[in-house]
Chains A and B, each alone.
Chain A
Amino acid sequence: MKALAKTLRLSALQMALNCGKNGSHLGAGLSSVEIFAALYGGVLKYDLQNKEDENRDRLVVSKGHCVLSYYSALRQAGFLTDEDIASFETNGSHFHGHAMRNLEKGIEFSGGSLSMGMSFAVGQALACKKKGLSSRVFSIVGDGECDEGLIWEAAMSAANYGLNNFVIIVDRNKLQYDGPTAEVMNQIDLGDKFRAFGFDVRVVDGHDVDALAKVLRAPSEKPVCVIADTIKGKGVSFMEGVKTWHHSVLTQEQYDQAVKEVENV
Protein backbone atom coordinates (compact mmCIF):
# COMPACT_ATOMS: atom_id res chain seq x y z
CA MET A 1 0.00 0.00 0.00
CA LYS A 2 2.91 2.34 0.69
CA ALA A 3 4.25 1.69 -2.80
CA LEU A 4 0.78 2.34 -4.21
CA ALA A 5 0.67 5.66 -2.36
CA LYS A 6 3.96 6.69 -3.93
CA THR A 7 2.70 5.71 -7.39
CA LEU A 8 -0.48 7.74 -6.86
CA ARG A 9 1.47 10.79 -5.71
CA LEU A 10 3.73 10.66 -8.77
CA SER A 11 0.75 10.11 -11.06
CA ALA A 12 -1.06 13.07 -9.49
CA LEU A 13 1.94 15.29 -10.16
CA GLN A 14 2.16 14.09 -13.76
CA MET A 15 -1.55 14.84 -14.29
CA ALA A 16 -1.08 18.29 -12.75
CA LEU A 17 1.85 19.00 -15.08
CA ASN A 18 -0.23 17.88 -18.09
CA CYS A 19 -2.92 20.43 -17.17
CA GLY A 20 -0.44 23.14 -18.10
CA LYS A 21 -1.62 26.64 -17.45
CA ASN A 22 -5.17 25.49 -16.56
CA GLY A 23 -3.84 24.32 -13.22
CA SER A 24 -5.40 21.74 -10.92
CA HIS A 25 -6.33 21.01 -7.32
CA LEU A 26 -2.93 19.90 -6.06
CA GLY A 27 -3.44 20.57 -2.34
CA ALA A 28 -6.28 18.11 -1.75
CA GLY A 29 -5.01 15.85 -4.54
CA LEU A 30 -1.92 15.21 -2.44
CA SER A 31 -3.49 15.22 1.05
CA SER A 32 -5.88 12.41 0.09
CA VAL A 33 -3.32 10.08 -1.54
CA GLU A 34 -3.01 7.63 1.36
CA ILE A 35 -6.79 7.51 1.83
CA PHE A 36 -7.20 6.30 -1.77
CA ALA A 37 -4.18 3.98 -1.45
CA ALA A 38 -5.75 2.31 1.60
CA LEU A 39 -9.18 2.03 -0.04
CA TYR A 40 -8.03 0.69 -3.42
CA GLY A 41 -5.09 -1.17 -1.88
CA GLY A 42 -7.35 -3.69 -0.17
CA VAL A 43 -10.19 -2.17 1.83
CA LEU A 44 -12.76 -1.68 -0.96
CA LYS A 45 -14.59 -4.71 -2.35
CA TYR A 46 -15.12 -4.48 -6.13
CA ASP A 47 -15.17 -6.67 -9.21
CA LEU A 48 -13.63 -5.36 -12.43
CA GLN A 49 -15.51 -8.05 -14.39
CA ASN A 50 -18.84 -6.90 -12.95
CA LYS A 51 -18.51 -3.24 -12.15
CA GLU A 52 -22.16 -2.78 -11.16
CA ASP A 53 -22.14 -5.83 -8.90
CA GLU A 54 -24.72 -5.25 -6.17
CA ASN A 55 -22.32 -6.68 -3.63
CA ARG A 56 -19.60 -4.11 -4.32
CA ASP A 57 -18.61 -1.54 -1.75
CA ARG A 58 -19.59 1.97 -2.81
CA LEU A 59 -17.16 4.90 -2.64
CA VAL A 60 -18.81 8.30 -2.87
CA VAL A 61 -16.16 10.98 -3.32
CA SER A 62 -17.96 14.07 -2.11
CA LYS A 63 -14.92 16.36 -2.05
CA GLY A 64 -14.76 16.45 -5.80
CA HIS A 65 -11.53 18.41 -5.95
CA CYS A 66 -9.31 15.45 -5.02
CA VAL A 67 -9.50 13.99 -8.53
CA LEU A 68 -5.73 13.94 -9.07
CA SER A 69 -5.37 11.12 -6.53
CA TYR A 70 -8.85 9.66 -7.20
CA TYR A 71 -8.37 9.22 -10.96
CA SER A 72 -4.83 7.96 -10.32
CA ALA A 73 -6.20 5.34 -7.92
CA LEU A 74 -8.90 4.32 -10.43
CA ARG A 75 -6.15 3.90 -13.05
CA GLN A 76 -4.09 1.70 -10.75
CA ALA A 77 -7.18 -0.33 -9.80
CA GLY A 78 -7.92 -0.94 -13.48
CA PHE A 79 -11.06 1.16 -13.93
CA LEU A 80 -9.40 3.87 -16.02
CA THR A 81 -7.02 3.59 -18.95
CA ASP A 82 -3.92 5.67 -19.71
CA GLU A 83 -6.01 7.38 -22.41
CA ASP A 84 -8.62 8.33 -19.81
CA ILE A 85 -5.93 9.84 -17.60
CA ALA A 86 -4.39 11.67 -20.57
CA SER A 87 -7.78 13.17 -21.41
CA PHE A 88 -8.13 14.81 -17.97
CA GLU A 89 -9.29 18.40 -18.36
CA THR A 90 -9.14 18.33 -22.15
CA ASN A 91 -12.03 19.47 -24.35
CA GLY A 92 -14.69 16.80 -24.85
CA SER A 93 -13.32 14.58 -22.08
CA HIS A 94 -15.47 12.73 -19.55
CA PHE A 95 -12.91 13.66 -16.91
CA HIS A 96 -13.70 17.08 -15.51
CA GLY A 97 -11.89 18.80 -12.68
CA HIS A 98 -14.60 17.25 -10.52
CA ALA A 99 -15.51 13.61 -11.23
CA MET A 100 -18.75 12.74 -13.03
CA ARG A 101 -20.76 9.57 -12.18
CA ASN A 102 -19.87 6.68 -14.47
CA LEU A 103 -20.13 3.17 -13.01
CA GLU A 104 -18.24 1.68 -15.97
CA LYS A 105 -15.29 3.82 -14.87
CA GLY A 106 -15.84 3.02 -11.19
CA ILE A 107 -17.13 6.51 -10.42
CA GLU A 108 -20.14 6.30 -8.12
CA PHE A 109 -20.87 9.99 -7.74
CA SER A 110 -20.61 13.38 -9.44
CA GLY A 111 -18.63 15.48 -6.98
CA GLY A 112 -18.02 19.20 -7.09
CA SER A 113 -20.83 20.72 -5.05
CA LEU A 114 -19.65 20.23 -1.49
CA SER A 115 -21.65 18.08 0.94
CA MET A 116 -23.83 16.52 -1.76
CA GLY A 117 -22.00 13.20 -1.61
CA MET A 118 -22.66 12.39 2.02
CA SER A 119 -26.45 12.62 1.72
CA PHE A 120 -26.41 10.50 -1.45
CA ALA A 121 -24.17 7.94 0.30
CA VAL A 122 -26.61 7.73 3.23
CA GLY A 123 -29.34 6.91 0.69
CA GLN A 124 -27.15 4.17 -0.82
CA ALA A 125 -26.30 2.76 2.62
CA LEU A 126 -29.99 2.72 3.49
CA ALA A 127 -30.75 0.93 0.22
CA CYS A 128 -28.02 -1.67 0.90
CA LYS A 129 -29.57 -2.34 4.33
CA LYS A 130 -33.05 -2.62 2.81
CA LYS A 131 -31.74 -5.11 0.24
CA GLY A 132 -29.91 -7.10 2.91
CA LEU A 133 -26.50 -6.61 1.26
CA SER A 134 -23.28 -6.80 3.25
CA SER A 135 -21.76 -3.98 1.15
CA ARG A 136 -20.31 -0.95 2.88
CA VAL A 137 -20.65 2.62 1.69
CA PHE A 138 -17.66 4.93 2.10
CA SER A 139 -17.76 8.66 1.52
CA ILE A 140 -14.82 11.08 1.47
CA VAL A 141 -15.37 14.67 2.57
CA GLY A 142 -13.01 17.50 3.42
CA ASP A 143 -12.85 19.22 6.80
CA GLY A 144 -13.71 22.55 5.17
CA GLU A 145 -16.66 20.78 3.54
CA CYS A 146 -18.00 20.06 7.04
CA ASP A 147 -18.94 23.77 7.23
CA GLU A 148 -21.93 22.79 5.06
CA GLY A 149 -25.26 22.18 6.82
CA LEU A 150 -26.17 19.18 4.67
CA ILE A 151 -23.25 17.22 6.19
CA TRP A 152 -25.01 17.40 9.54
CA GLU A 153 -28.46 16.60 8.19
CA ALA A 154 -26.92 13.52 6.59
CA ALA A 155 -24.95 12.63 9.74
CA MET A 156 -28.09 12.83 11.88
CA SER A 157 -29.96 10.55 9.51
CA ALA A 158 -27.12 7.98 9.23
CA ALA A 159 -27.27 7.43 12.99
CA ASN A 160 -31.07 7.53 13.05
CA TYR A 161 -31.29 4.73 10.48
CA GLY A 162 -28.58 2.70 12.26
CA LEU A 163 -26.30 2.65 9.21
CA ASN A 164 -23.29 0.75 10.55
CA ASN A 165 -22.47 -0.03 6.89
CA PHE A 166 -21.65 3.66 6.37
CA VAL A 167 -18.16 5.15 6.80
CA ILE A 168 -17.48 8.85 6.42
CA ILE A 169 -13.81 9.70 5.89
CA VAL A 170 -12.80 13.28 6.65
CA ASP A 171 -9.62 14.34 4.86
CA ARG A 172 -8.70 16.80 7.62
CA ASN A 173 -5.96 18.81 5.94
CA LYS A 174 -6.90 21.85 8.05
CA LEU A 175 -6.76 24.26 5.14
CA GLN A 176 -9.59 25.56 3.00
CA TYR A 177 -9.68 27.95 0.04
CA ASP A 178 -9.32 31.11 2.13
CA GLY A 179 -6.87 29.81 4.71
CA PRO A 180 -6.62 27.67 7.85
CA THR A 181 -9.92 26.00 8.75
CA ALA A 182 -9.46 27.16 12.35
CA GLU A 183 -9.43 30.77 11.15
CA VAL A 184 -12.11 30.64 8.47
CA MET A 185 -14.67 28.68 10.54
CA ASN A 186 -13.33 27.09 13.67
CA GLN A 187 -14.83 23.62 14.00
CA ILE A 188 -13.41 23.32 17.56
CA ASP A 189 -13.44 19.52 17.75
CA LEU A 190 -14.82 17.81 14.67
CA GLY A 191 -14.57 14.38 16.33
CA ASP A 192 -16.75 15.51 19.22
CA LYS A 193 -19.33 16.77 16.78
CA PHE A 194 -19.56 13.47 14.88
CA ARG A 195 -19.55 11.57 18.21
CA ALA A 196 -22.47 13.71 19.38
CA PHE A 197 -24.28 12.86 16.14
CA GLY A 198 -24.00 9.14 16.97
CA PHE A 199 -20.86 8.12 15.08
CA ASP A 200 -18.05 5.80 16.10
CA VAL A 201 -15.17 8.27 15.62
CA ARG A 202 -11.64 7.10 14.79
CA VAL A 203 -8.87 9.69 14.48
CA VAL A 204 -5.86 8.50 12.52
CA ASP A 205 -2.67 9.75 10.84
CA GLY A 206 -4.01 10.22 7.32
CA HIS A 207 -0.62 9.59 5.75
CA ASP A 208 -0.16 6.19 7.45
CA VAL A 209 -1.78 3.79 4.99
CA ASP A 210 -1.61 0.78 7.30
CA ALA A 211 -3.25 2.67 10.16
CA LEU A 212 -5.89 3.97 7.75
CA ALA A 213 -6.63 0.50 6.39
CA LYS A 214 -6.98 -0.83 9.92
CA VAL A 215 -9.56 1.72 11.05
CA LEU A 216 -11.42 1.55 7.75
CA ARG A 217 -11.73 -2.24 8.00
CA ALA A 218 -12.82 -2.45 11.66
CA PRO A 219 -16.57 -3.06 11.93
CA SER A 220 -18.83 -1.11 14.25
CA GLU A 221 -22.33 -1.10 15.66
CA LYS A 222 -22.66 2.54 14.61
CA PRO A 223 -21.90 4.57 11.50
CA VAL A 224 -18.16 5.22 11.45
CA CYS A 225 -16.33 8.52 11.09
CA VAL A 226 -12.65 8.24 10.23
CA ILE A 227 -10.91 11.55 10.72
CA ALA A 228 -7.72 11.35 8.71
CA ASP A 229 -5.28 14.02 9.85
CA THR A 230 -3.46 15.07 6.71
CA ILE A 231 -1.33 17.84 5.28
CA LYS A 232 -2.51 19.74 2.23
CA GLY A 233 0.06 19.32 -0.54
CA LYS A 234 1.68 16.40 1.35
CA GLY A 235 5.01 15.15 0.00
CA VAL A 236 6.13 18.33 -1.75
CA SER A 237 7.93 20.75 0.57
CA PHE A 238 6.93 23.94 -1.21
CA MET A 239 3.24 22.94 -1.33
CA GLU A 240 2.74 21.58 2.18
CA GLY A 241 0.31 23.77 4.14
CA VAL A 242 0.43 26.57 1.54
CA LYS A 243 -3.08 27.74 0.69
CA THR A 244 -2.26 28.96 -2.82
CA TRP A 245 -1.66 25.33 -3.83
CA HIS A 246 -5.37 24.61 -3.35
CA HIS A 247 -5.62 25.10 -7.11
CA SER A 248 -2.52 26.13 -8.99
CA VAL A 249 -0.31 25.72 -12.04
CA LEU A 250 2.65 23.35 -11.80
CA THR A 251 5.67 24.35 -13.90
CA GLN A 252 8.16 21.84 -15.33
CA GLU A 253 10.80 23.05 -12.90
CA GLN A 254 8.47 22.69 -9.91
CA TYR A 255 7.38 19.28 -11.19
CA ASP A 256 11.00 18.08 -11.41
CA GLN A 257 11.68 19.17 -7.86
CA ALA A 258 8.41 17.66 -6.57
CA VAL A 259 9.11 14.30 -8.21
CA LYS A 260 12.62 14.26 -6.73
CA GLU A 261 11.19 14.83 -3.26
CA VAL A 262 8.50 12.16 -3.60
CA GLU A 263 10.92 9.59 -5.01
CA ASN A 264 13.46 10.17 -2.25
CA VAL A 265 11.06 9.56 0.63
Chain B
Amino acid sequence: MFEINRMTARTCSMLGQRGSIFGLAALDAAKEDDKFVLLTADLATLSGMDRYIKTYADQFINVGIAEQNMVGISAGLAAEGYHPVVTTYATFVTMRSCEQIRHYLGYMQQKVVVVGSGAGLSQGFAGNTHYTIEDISMMRAIPNLQILSPADGASAAKLFHVAMASDKPVYIRLTGNLNCPIAYKEDAPFSIGGSNKLREGKDVTIIACGTMVSTALSAAKKLEDEGIEASVIDMYSIKPLDKKAIMEVKDCRLIVSLEEHSKMGGLGAAVAEVMCEQTGFPRLLRLGIADFFDLACDYDGLLEQNRLTVHQITEDILKAL
Protein backbone atom coordinates (compact mmCIF):
# COMPACT_ATOMS: atom_id res chain seq x y z
CA MET B 1 0.00 0.00 0.00
CA PHE B 2 1.19 3.51 -0.89
CA GLU B 3 2.79 5.41 2.00
CA ILE B 4 3.67 9.06 2.33
CA ASN B 5 7.30 9.75 3.20
CA ARG B 6 9.73 12.51 2.21
CA MET B 7 10.56 10.77 -1.07
CA THR B 8 7.00 9.94 -2.21
CA ALA B 9 5.84 13.38 -1.08
CA ARG B 10 8.47 14.98 -3.33
CA THR B 11 7.73 12.71 -6.32
CA CYS B 12 3.98 13.27 -6.00
CA SER B 13 4.52 17.00 -5.66
CA MET B 14 6.35 17.02 -8.99
CA LEU B 15 3.66 14.92 -10.66
CA GLY B 16 0.83 17.01 -9.23
CA GLN B 17 -2.43 15.46 -7.99
CA ARG B 18 -3.48 14.19 -11.42
CA GLY B 19 -0.10 12.64 -12.20
CA SER B 20 0.08 11.05 -8.74
CA ILE B 21 -3.16 9.22 -9.40
CA PHE B 22 -2.81 8.26 -13.07
CA GLY B 23 0.96 7.89 -13.19
CA LEU B 24 1.27 5.99 -9.90
CA ALA B 25 -1.81 4.99 -7.88
CA ALA B 26 -3.85 3.70 -10.86
CA LEU B 27 -1.03 1.31 -11.79
CA ASP B 28 -1.07 -0.15 -8.28
CA ALA B 29 -4.85 -0.47 -8.42
CA ALA B 30 -4.78 -2.25 -11.80
CA LYS B 31 -2.02 -4.58 -10.62
CA GLU B 32 -4.05 -5.67 -7.60
CA ASP B 33 -7.44 -5.90 -9.30
CA ASP B 34 -8.13 -7.26 -12.79
CA LYS B 35 -11.63 -5.72 -12.65
CA PHE B 36 -10.14 -2.24 -12.31
CA VAL B 37 -10.79 -0.22 -15.49
CA LEU B 38 -9.78 3.32 -16.33
CA LEU B 39 -11.89 5.44 -18.70
CA THR B 40 -11.13 8.86 -20.09
CA ALA B 41 -12.69 11.27 -22.56
CA ASP B 42 -9.62 12.10 -24.69
CA LEU B 43 -7.48 13.20 -21.77
CA ALA B 44 -5.08 10.26 -21.43
CA THR B 45 -1.81 11.94 -22.39
CA LEU B 46 -2.42 15.09 -20.39
CA SER B 47 -3.44 12.99 -17.38
CA GLY B 48 -0.09 11.18 -17.45
CA MET B 49 -1.54 7.78 -18.40
CA ASP B 50 1.09 6.73 -20.94
CA ARG B 51 2.75 4.19 -18.66
CA TYR B 52 -0.63 2.90 -17.46
CA ILE B 53 -1.86 2.37 -21.03
CA LYS B 54 1.32 0.55 -22.03
CA THR B 55 1.07 -1.76 -19.02
CA TYR B 56 -2.69 -2.26 -18.76
CA ALA B 57 -4.08 -1.75 -22.28
CA ASP B 58 -6.93 -4.19 -21.56
CA GLN B 59 -8.00 -2.15 -18.56
CA PHE B 60 -8.19 1.15 -20.41
CA ILE B 61 -11.03 2.71 -22.42
CA ASN B 62 -10.91 6.04 -24.24
CA VAL B 63 -14.47 7.05 -25.19
CA GLY B 64 -13.45 10.11 -27.18
CA ILE B 65 -14.75 13.57 -26.35
CA ALA B 66 -18.02 12.27 -24.93
CA GLU B 67 -18.15 12.75 -21.17
CA GLN B 68 -21.81 11.78 -20.78
CA ASN B 69 -21.28 8.49 -22.60
CA MET B 70 -18.13 7.86 -20.54
CA VAL B 71 -20.14 7.99 -17.32
CA GLY B 72 -22.92 5.86 -18.87
CA ILE B 73 -20.51 3.17 -20.08
CA SER B 74 -18.73 3.15 -16.72
CA ALA B 75 -22.05 2.57 -14.95
CA GLY B 76 -22.82 -0.36 -17.26
CA LEU B 77 -19.37 -1.79 -16.50
CA ALA B 78 -19.94 -1.30 -12.75
CA ALA B 79 -23.27 -3.13 -12.99
CA GLU B 80 -21.35 -6.06 -14.48
CA GLY B 81 -18.84 -6.24 -11.63
CA TYR B 82 -16.07 -4.01 -12.94
CA HIS B 83 -14.46 -1.25 -10.84
CA PRO B 84 -14.40 1.78 -13.15
CA VAL B 85 -12.69 5.12 -12.73
CA VAL B 86 -13.62 7.91 -15.15
CA THR B 87 -11.65 11.08 -15.62
CA THR B 88 -11.35 14.32 -17.53
CA TYR B 89 -11.28 17.99 -16.56
CA ALA B 90 -13.44 18.62 -13.49
CA THR B 91 -15.53 21.23 -15.26
CA PHE B 92 -16.60 18.87 -18.04
CA VAL B 93 -17.10 15.70 -16.03
CA THR B 94 -19.19 17.42 -13.34
CA MET B 95 -21.14 19.82 -15.51
CA ARG B 96 -21.57 18.14 -18.89
CA SER B 97 -22.21 14.84 -17.12
CA CYS B 98 -24.00 16.20 -14.05
CA GLU B 99 -27.22 14.34 -14.77
CA GLN B 100 -25.34 11.15 -15.64
CA ILE B 101 -23.58 11.31 -12.25
CA ARG B 102 -26.92 11.95 -10.55
CA HIS B 103 -28.69 9.16 -12.42
CA TYR B 104 -26.19 6.30 -12.60
CA LEU B 105 -24.11 6.99 -9.46
CA GLY B 106 -26.58 8.77 -7.20
CA TYR B 107 -29.93 7.21 -8.08
CA MET B 108 -28.81 3.80 -9.40
CA GLN B 109 -25.90 3.67 -6.92
CA GLN B 110 -23.42 2.22 -9.38
CA LYS B 111 -19.95 2.28 -7.84
CA VAL B 112 -17.93 4.50 -10.13
CA VAL B 113 -15.06 6.77 -9.05
CA VAL B 114 -15.16 10.09 -10.91
CA VAL B 115 -11.89 12.01 -10.94
CA GLY B 116 -12.17 15.64 -12.04
CA SER B 117 -8.82 17.31 -12.62
CA GLY B 118 -7.76 20.94 -12.92
CA ALA B 119 -10.51 22.13 -10.57
CA GLY B 120 -10.58 25.66 -9.24
CA LEU B 121 -8.62 28.27 -11.19
CA SER B 122 -5.47 26.28 -12.01
CA GLN B 123 -6.12 26.34 -15.75
CA GLY B 124 -5.14 30.01 -15.89
CA PHE B 125 -5.09 31.37 -19.41
CA ALA B 126 -7.34 28.56 -20.72
CA GLY B 127 -10.16 30.77 -19.49
CA ASN B 128 -13.50 30.48 -17.78
CA THR B 129 -14.75 27.37 -19.65
CA HIS B 130 -11.91 25.46 -18.00
CA TYR B 131 -12.27 26.79 -14.45
CA THR B 132 -14.31 24.68 -12.05
CA ILE B 133 -15.83 26.72 -9.28
CA GLU B 134 -19.27 25.11 -8.98
CA ASP B 135 -18.53 21.37 -8.77
CA ILE B 136 -18.61 20.89 -4.98
CA SER B 137 -21.89 22.74 -4.82
CA MET B 138 -23.49 20.61 -7.53
CA MET B 139 -22.04 17.25 -6.50
CA ARG B 140 -22.81 17.78 -2.81
CA ALA B 141 -26.55 17.89 -3.49
CA ILE B 142 -26.58 14.48 -5.20
CA PRO B 143 -27.75 11.74 -2.81
CA ASN B 144 -25.38 8.76 -2.28
CA LEU B 145 -22.38 10.57 -3.79
CA GLN B 146 -19.25 11.04 -1.65
CA ILE B 147 -16.76 13.86 -2.32
CA LEU B 148 -13.03 13.93 -1.63
CA SER B 149 -10.64 16.83 -2.25
CA PRO B 150 -6.96 16.02 -1.63
CA ALA B 151 -4.54 18.65 -0.35
CA ASP B 152 -1.47 17.54 -2.31
CA GLY B 153 -0.06 14.92 -4.68
CA ALA B 154 0.73 12.26 -2.11
CA SER B 155 -2.60 12.52 -0.32
CA ALA B 156 -4.31 12.37 -3.75
CA ALA B 157 -2.74 8.93 -4.23
CA LYS B 158 -3.81 7.90 -0.71
CA LEU B 159 -7.38 9.13 -1.20
CA PHE B 160 -7.61 7.41 -4.57
CA HIS B 161 -7.10 4.07 -2.80
CA VAL B 162 -9.66 5.12 -0.14
CA ALA B 163 -12.18 5.85 -2.92
CA MET B 164 -11.52 2.51 -4.63
CA ALA B 165 -12.04 0.65 -1.36
CA SER B 166 -15.38 2.34 -0.66
CA ASP B 167 -18.54 0.54 -1.76
CA LYS B 168 -20.27 3.80 -2.72
CA PRO B 169 -19.60 6.18 -5.64
CA VAL B 170 -17.03 8.92 -5.12
CA TYR B 171 -16.16 12.21 -6.81
CA ILE B 172 -12.49 13.16 -6.35
CA ARG B 173 -11.77 16.83 -6.97
CA LEU B 174 -8.19 17.54 -8.02
CA THR B 175 -6.72 21.02 -7.69
CA GLY B 176 -3.36 22.58 -8.49
CA ASN B 177 -0.85 21.84 -11.24
CA LEU B 178 2.47 20.09 -11.58
CA ASN B 179 4.81 20.94 -8.69
CA CYS B 180 1.89 20.94 -6.28
CA PRO B 181 2.76 22.32 -2.81
CA ILE B 182 3.38 19.64 -0.17
CA ALA B 183 0.99 19.46 2.79
CA TYR B 184 1.98 15.96 4.02
CA LYS B 185 5.63 14.96 4.51
CA GLU B 186 4.75 11.80 6.40
CA ASP B 187 1.97 9.26 6.38
CA ALA B 188 -1.40 10.08 7.94
CA PRO B 189 -4.73 8.29 8.25
CA PHE B 190 -7.27 8.95 5.49
CA SER B 191 -10.87 7.72 5.41
CA ILE B 192 -14.25 8.66 3.99
CA GLY B 193 -15.69 11.20 6.43
CA GLY B 194 -12.31 11.97 8.01
CA SER B 195 -10.09 15.03 8.26
CA ASN B 196 -6.57 15.77 9.51
CA LYS B 197 -5.54 18.59 11.80
CA LEU B 198 -2.15 19.60 10.41
CA ARG B 199 -1.42 22.40 12.85
CA GLU B 200 -2.63 23.30 16.34
CA GLY B 201 -3.54 26.82 17.46
CA LYS B 202 -6.10 28.17 19.92
CA ASP B 203 -7.12 31.51 18.33
CA VAL B 204 -8.19 30.74 14.79
CA THR B 205 -9.20 27.54 12.99
CA ILE B 206 -8.71 27.42 9.23
CA ILE B 207 -10.74 24.66 7.58
CA ALA B 208 -9.42 24.17 4.06
CA CYS B 209 -9.52 21.71 1.19
CA GLY B 210 -7.41 21.06 -1.92
CA THR B 211 -4.19 22.97 -2.51
CA MET B 212 -5.61 25.75 -0.30
CA VAL B 213 -4.50 23.57 2.65
CA SER B 214 -0.88 24.47 1.91
CA THR B 215 -1.87 28.11 1.55
CA ALA B 216 -3.60 27.87 4.94
CA LEU B 217 -0.44 26.42 6.52
CA SER B 218 1.61 29.34 5.15
CA ALA B 219 -0.99 31.85 6.36
CA ALA B 220 -0.91 30.24 9.82
CA LYS B 221 2.87 30.82 9.95
CA LYS B 222 2.37 34.49 9.06
CA LEU B 223 -0.34 34.82 11.70
CA GLU B 224 2.10 33.43 14.25
CA ASP B 225 4.39 36.38 13.51
CA GLU B 226 1.47 38.61 14.48
CA GLY B 227 0.95 36.71 17.73
CA ILE B 228 -2.09 34.76 16.50
CA GLU B 229 -2.16 31.00 16.92
CA ALA B 230 -4.02 29.28 14.08
CA SER B 231 -4.88 25.62 13.66
CA VAL B 232 -5.32 24.16 10.16
CA ILE B 233 -7.69 21.33 9.30
CA ASP B 234 -7.37 19.47 5.99
CA MET B 235 -11.07 18.80 5.38
CA TYR B 236 -10.36 16.39 2.52
CA SER B 237 -13.71 14.58 2.91
CA ILE B 238 -16.30 17.16 1.88
CA LYS B 239 -19.13 14.67 1.87
CA PRO B 240 -19.62 13.10 4.29
CA LEU B 241 -18.19 15.97 6.31
CA ASP B 242 -16.25 15.43 9.54
CA LYS B 243 -18.79 17.23 11.77
CA LYS B 244 -17.01 16.09 14.91
CA ALA B 245 -13.86 17.97 13.89
CA ILE B 246 -15.94 21.15 13.49
CA MET B 247 -17.66 20.70 16.85
CA GLU B 248 -14.24 20.39 18.52
CA VAL B 249 -13.12 23.90 17.49
CA LYS B 250 -16.07 25.79 19.02
CA ASP B 251 -13.78 27.49 21.54
CA CYS B 252 -11.56 29.41 19.15
CA ARG B 253 -12.12 33.11 18.32
CA LEU B 254 -12.69 32.72 14.58
CA ILE B 255 -13.38 29.89 12.15
CA VAL B 256 -12.22 30.39 8.58
CA SER B 257 -13.19 28.25 5.59
CA LEU B 258 -10.81 28.34 2.66
CA GLU B 259 -11.37 26.82 -0.76
CA GLU B 260 -10.67 27.30 -4.45
CA HIS B 261 -14.39 27.13 -5.23
CA SER B 262 -17.32 29.52 -5.33
CA LYS B 263 -18.28 30.76 -1.88
CA MET B 264 -21.76 29.50 -2.70
CA GLY B 265 -22.45 25.87 -1.90
CA GLY B 266 -18.86 24.74 -1.36
CA LEU B 267 -16.82 23.75 1.70
CA GLY B 268 -17.63 27.03 3.49
CA ALA B 269 -21.32 26.42 2.97
CA ALA B 270 -20.99 22.86 4.26
CA VAL B 271 -19.20 24.12 7.39
CA ALA B 272 -21.84 26.86 7.84
CA GLU B 273 -24.61 24.24 7.63
CA VAL B 274 -23.08 22.42 10.60
CA MET B 275 -22.47 25.60 12.63
CA CYS B 276 -25.85 27.27 12.07
CA GLU B 277 -27.70 24.39 13.69
CA GLN B 278 -25.61 24.65 16.87
CA THR B 279 -25.07 27.29 19.54
CA GLY B 280 -21.82 28.67 20.88
CA PHE B 281 -19.80 28.90 17.69
CA PRO B 282 -17.67 31.97 16.93
CA ARG B 283 -17.99 33.85 13.64
CA LEU B 284 -17.29 32.04 10.34
CA LEU B 285 -15.21 33.85 7.71
CA ARG B 286 -15.73 32.21 4.32
CA LEU B 287 -12.87 32.66 1.85
CA GLY B 288 -13.30 31.43 -1.71
CA ILE B 289 -14.07 32.52 -5.23
CA ALA B 290 -16.38 35.45 -5.93
CA ASP B 291 -19.54 35.21 -8.02
CA PHE B 292 -18.19 36.21 -11.41
CA PHE B 293 -16.23 35.06 -14.46
CA ASP B 294 -12.75 36.50 -14.75
CA LEU B 295 -10.84 38.22 -17.55
CA ALA B 296 -7.75 36.49 -18.98
CA CYS B 297 -5.19 35.96 -16.24
CA ASP B 298 -2.58 33.47 -15.04
CA TYR B 299 -3.24 31.18 -12.05
CA ASP B 300 -1.45 33.36 -9.49
CA GLY B 301 -3.24 36.45 -10.77
CA LEU B 302 -6.62 34.73 -10.53
CA LEU B 303 -5.93 33.73 -6.94
CA GLU B 304 -4.98 37.31 -6.19
CA GLN B 305 -8.17 38.66 -7.80
CA ASN B 306 -10.13 36.42 -5.45
CA ARG B 307 -8.03 37.35 -2.39
CA LEU B 308 -6.69 33.82 -2.10
CA THR B 309 -2.94 34.53 -1.74
CA VAL B 310 -1.20 33.85 1.58
CA HIS B 311 -0.73 37.57 2.20
CA GLN B 312 -4.38 38.47 1.46
CA ILE B 313 -5.75 35.58 3.54
CA THR B 314 -3.60 36.62 6.50
CA GLU B 315 -4.79 40.20 6.11
CA ASP B 316 -8.47 39.20 5.94
CA ILE B 317 -8.17 36.97 8.99
CA LEU B 318 -6.49 39.71 11.03
CA LYS B 319 -9.20 42.15 9.98
CA ALA B 320 -11.94 39.74 11.07
CA LEU B 321 -10.46 39.10 14.51
A binds B: yes
Q: Chain A residues in contact with chain B, CB under 8 A?
A: 101, 108-110, 113, 116, 118-128, 130-131, 149-150, 153-154, 156-157, 160
B64: which A residues are within 8 A, CB to CB? Answer: 156-157, 160
* Alpha-carbon gap, A126 to B79, bound state (A): 11
Chain A: interface secondary structure? helix
> A120 near B79 (CB under 8 angstroms)?
yes
> B66 near A123 (CB under 8 angstroms)?
no
* Alpha-carbon gap, A135 to B53, bound state (A): 28
Query: Using an 8 Å CB-CB cutoff, how does the interface string of B72-103 with A read, 1 for contact, 0 for none?
Result: 11111111111000000000000000011001
Ranked 5 nearest A-B pairs via Cβ: A123-B76, A119-B72, A127-B80, A153-B69, A123-B73
B100: which A residues are within 8 A, CB to CB? Answer: 116, 119
> B103 near A154 (CB under 8 angstroms)?
no
Beyond A127-B80, A157-B66, 4 additional pairs, beta carbon < 8 A: A113-B99, A116-B99, A119-B75, A119-B76
Most chain B beta-carbon neighbours within 10 Å: one of A109, A127, A128, A150: A127
> B73 near A131 (CB under 8 angstroms)?
no
> A126 near B66 (CB under 8 angstroms)?
no
Q: Could you list 13 examples of A-B contacts with CB < 8 Å?
A: A101-B108, A109-B108, A110-B103, A110-B107, A119-B100, A122-B72, A122-B73, A123-B74, A123-B77, A124-B80, A127-B81, A150-B69, A154-B73
Most chain B beta-carbon neighbours within 10 Å: one of A118, A123, A124, A130: A123
Asked, given contacts A156-B66, A157-B66, whether A110 binds B108 with beta carbons under 8 Å apart, the answer is yes
B79: which A residues are within 8 A, CB to CB? Answer: 108, 120, 123-124, 127
Asked, given contacts A153-B66, A153-B68, A157-B63, whether A120 binds B76 with beta carbons under 8 Å apart, the answer is yes
Q: Does B104 contact A (CB under 8 A)?
A: yes
* Alpha-carbon gap, A121 to B75, bound state (A): 9
> B76 near A122 (CB under 8 angstroms)?
yes
> A150 near B103 (CB under 8 angstroms)?
no
* Alpha-carbon gap, A213 to B82, bound state (A): 31
A160: which B residues are within 8 A, CB to CB? Answer: 64
> B76 near A126 (CB under 8 angstroms)?
yes
* Alpha-carbon gap, A130 to B107, bound state (A): 26
